[in-house]
Amino acid sequence: MKIEIDQSGKIEKTSKHTYLAFSNSEHLVLKISSTEKKKVQNYFRNIGKPRIFIYATFVSLLVILFKNIKRESNQIIIDIEYPGKNQMIKDLIKNINPSFPIDDIHFHLIGKKSRAHFLAYGTAINQLKPDLIVKSDDILKIIKKIGKCLSS
């Protein structure tokens, strides 16, 4: 069985909330508010790495999702949110959790008919409620595990 992951509301749009959802036989929707994203963005500005903010935040949200997935599946399909950055995203995940089966992650356009899209978008337009609210501290704890990988 495969797990699909989709995002609604780009991380770089710090005036809007971002939602990340996974769906298989289970589902979960994460929300990070615009205020919390700005706190994370300020952290990256302060350390002189503002360009990595988007990808490190996305990966941190993925890691939080992964912790909530019961892994019966051997295939994780992530909607292509950041074209050309798929390998960097995988590398950051591997840096955070070296034992994670990175080869199980695939990037594809999952489309609007995906249940993960329905969940993320439905939550973004207030038809559904998020299952988990992510704070900047949650993201920063994960980001600090990335460490030297942020120098790229």
DSSP string, 67-112: HTS----SEEEEE-SSTT-HHHHHHHHHHH-TTS-GGGEEEE---T
Mean pLDDT by 10 residues, the chain (152 residues): 93 97 93 98 94 94 90 84 95 90 94 94 96 97 75 51
Between CA 3 and CA 73 the distance in angstroms is 7
pTM of the model: 0.92
Q: What pLDDT is recorded for position 107?
A: 97
Tokens 């706190």 appear where? Answer: 39
Between CA 77 and CA 13 the distance in angstroms is 23
Residue 59, burial from CB neighbour count under 10 angstroms (0-12, 13-18, 19+): buried
Q: Which amino acid is at 89?
A: I
Is residue 122 a contact partner of residue 128, using CB atoms and an 8 Å limit? yes
106 bridge partner residues: 77
Q: What pLDDT is recorded for position 25?
A: 84
